[in-house]
Amino acid sequence: MRGSVDRPALLINMWTRQGHVRDGRLVDPNDAPWWVQSPEYLDTSGRAVGFPREQALTAIGAYPRLLYGVSEDSMNASLPELTMAAHRVTTTAPAKINLTLDVLGRRDDGFHDLRSLVIGVDLSDRVSCRDCDKPGIDLTCSDHSLVGPENLVFRAVQVFTQHVGRAPAVRIELEKNIPIGAGMGGGSSDAAAMLRLCNELWCAGLDDAALANLGSDLGSDVPLFFSLPSAVITGRGERVEPVALRWSGWVLLVYCGVAVPTTDVYQAWRAADSADLPCGTDGAISEATSAKTLTELLSNHLEPAVFRVAPTVAGVSDRLDRAGVGPMRVTGAGSTLYQLFDEKEAACRAARQVEDLRMSVTASVVAAPVGSASVLSEEF
């Protein structure tokens, strides 16, 4: 597929890969090739005489005009219809589970003070995007109900382009695998992934700290996904400190088939819910080396509120406990229950037990902890 050249992005992309540009700026302006400084050497087909076409394309970007005072009209006059292979970037957006979730109280601003140890798990959405000719944000999704400007992926592009000062013209494909309202942070992870893709697609040169700061404008959970595989979050969730776990293993996830609204759960939380539950166990968890030890330290102060808001989740938890599959914990403020295992075979046996109960749930086994994937860049 071919499309119109995004000239500034093309220049920055190429020079970043060649080492001429870092963080969106020329490392050494005196190192600029002569064809950038002298666009009149381009012939009518858009090639620089004696130079490969892909090098000549860099000569038509906005940056030479700004750096060397070359008129954009003079460049456009001899280069009316240049095209190039489209550039696409792709990554995955991992789910998370909360090993601890301490609710410390309700704040004056309506949010809650939290402390939570969170890990990434090997269940991911897939996000890809590419430049397109038409201005705007074209989002398609495997779940058609999620297409629209309220999607965090859509909003991530808006926040990013506003920050870097460019108009969005991008086509996005979102493949959903993380259930909605499941307490696994699917929407927030998608937003973090989209910020990474924008940064790569347009070579903005922002580091993870800057991207996480942009993400905090989208949602409290978004910054977390720049610090996986494991991190402690505090405040309303926007303050993130990466931590190392000594344990790695397998997680049985049981999705109860209902979407639980996060806002409803926090509104249903009562201080009494946290009174008799463990608090501040994240330090001990980070030192634990077995699933058995970890399980004894797990807690979620939102679990009672989840059970009140979504009786289905409470019913599944009770049924699994009576069937000997438990103990299961709720992750976040959602409808997914989980259990930790050291061995994959044991986790798979437990998943088969869940399936044999013939409930309307989905059981899966995933590795943990996992971090965010790198961005794959390709031309097509």
Active centre residues (catalytic): 96, 221
- What is the spatial distance between Cα 31 and Cα 66, in angstroms, rounded to a whole number? 16
Which residue in the block uniquely carries the two structure tokens 């580091």? 207
Where is 11: in which H helix or E strand?
A: helix 7-18
Q: Which residues pair with 169 in a beta bridge?
A: 136
How far lies 49's CA from each of 38, 40, 55, 63, in Å? 12, 10, 11, 21
Q: Give the pair of three-digit tokens for residue 137.
A: 């944000």
Strand segments (E) across 257-317: 299-300
- 8 A C-beta contact, residue 357 and residue 326: no
CA 34 centroid distance within chain: 40
Nearest Cα to Cα of residue 8 among 146, 115, 166: 166
Q: Please tell me what DSSP assigns to residue 357.
A: T
d(CA 319, CA 63): 64
Residues across the chain: 380
